[in-house]
Amino acid sequence: MPLFLEEHRQLLSFNYPGRGDLVEALESVAGFLEDKVMPMATKFDQHAAKIEETRKELLRQGVCQMPFPKELEGLGLPFGAYALAIELTGAADAGIALSIAIHNTAAEGILQFGSEGQKRKYVPDIVAGRKVASFALTEPTSGSDAKAMGTKAARDGEGFVLNGSKAFITNAGEADVYFVFAATPKGPSSFIVEGSNPGLSFGEDLPKLGMRGSRTSEVRFSDCRVPAESLVGEEGMGFEYAKKMLNGSRIVMGSLCVGIAQAAFEKSIEYARSRKAFGSAISEFQLIREKVADMKTGITAGRLLCLHAARVRESGADFGSEAAQAKVFSTEMSLRVCDSAIQVFGGYGYTTDDVHRHWRDARLLTIGEGTSEVLRMLIARRELARSL
Partner 1 sequence: MTLTVWAYSESGQVASEVAAAAQSLAGTGKGDAVEVMVGAMSDAGPRLPNALVLRGMSASENTPESTAEAICRATSKGMPSVILVGSTRNGREVAARVAARLGTGCISDASKLTLEGESLIGERSAFAGKVTAKVVAPIPCVATVKVGTYPAAGKTTANSVSEMDVGGFSPKVKVLKTIRKDARSVNLNSAKIIVSAGRGVKKKEDLAIVESLAKSLGGAVGCSRPLSSDLGWLPEEHHIGLTGVTVKPELYLAVGISGQLQHIAGMKDSKVVAAINTDKDAPIFQAADYGIVGDLYQVIPAIEEIVRRRS
Partner 2 sequence: MKIAVCIKHAVDESELKMDPGGSPMITGAAGKMGTFDKNAVEEAVRLKSSGGGDVTIFTVGPADARKSMKEGLAMGGDRGVLVTADPVRIDSLSVAGLLAKAVQRDGSFDLIICSEGSSDVYTGQVPPMLAELLGFAYFGYAKKLEVSGSRIRVERSLEESVEVVEAPLPAVVSVVSEINEPRYPTLIQIMQAAKKPLEEVPPSALGVETAPKVVVRSMSGQGSNRKKVMLDGTPEEAAAKLVDALRAEGVIPR
**Residue ranges that bind partner 1, judged by CB under 8 A:** 39, 42, 352, 354
Burial (Cβ within 10 Å: 0-12, 13-18, ≥19) of residue 384: exposed
13 binds partner 2 (CB under 8 A): no
Which one, 64 or 245, has the nearer CB to partner 2? Answer: 64
User: Least distance in Å: CB of 292 to partner 2?
Assistant: 20
Residue 353: how many CB atoms within 10 A of its CB? 13
How many angstroms separate the CA atoms of 345 and 336, rounded? 14
How many angstroms separate the CA atoms of 88 and 345, rounded? 23
User: Least distance in Å: CB of 330 to partner 1?
Assistant: 27
H helices present in 93-183, as ranges: 94-113, 116-127
272 binds partner 2 (CB under 8 A): no
How many angstroms separate the CA atoms of 78 and 244, rounded? 18
60 binds partner 2 (CB under 8 A): yes
Residue 84 in contact with residue 153, Cβ under 8 Å?
no
User: Least distance in Å: CB of 144 to partner 1?
Assistant: 39
Q: Of partner 1, partner 2, none, which one sits near residue 140, judging by CB under 5 to 8 A according to partner kind?
A: none
Which one, 76 or 185, has the nearer CB to partner 2? Answer: 76
21 binds partner 2 (CB under 8 A): yes
Catalytic one among 87, 235, 322, 369? 369
54 binds partner 2 (CB under 8 A): no
If you ran DSSP here, which 8-state letter would residue 237 be given?
A: -
71 binds partner 2 (CB under 8 A): no
How many angstroms separate the CA atoms of 249 and 104, rounded? 9
Is-catalytic flag, 369? yes
Name the nearest CA neighbour of 134 among 100, 164, 191, 178.
178
126 binds partner 2 (CB under 8 A): no
Binding site for partner 2 (CB under 8 A): 2, 20-21, 24-25, 27-29, 31-32, 35-36, 57, 60-63, 65-66, 75
Catalytic residues: 369
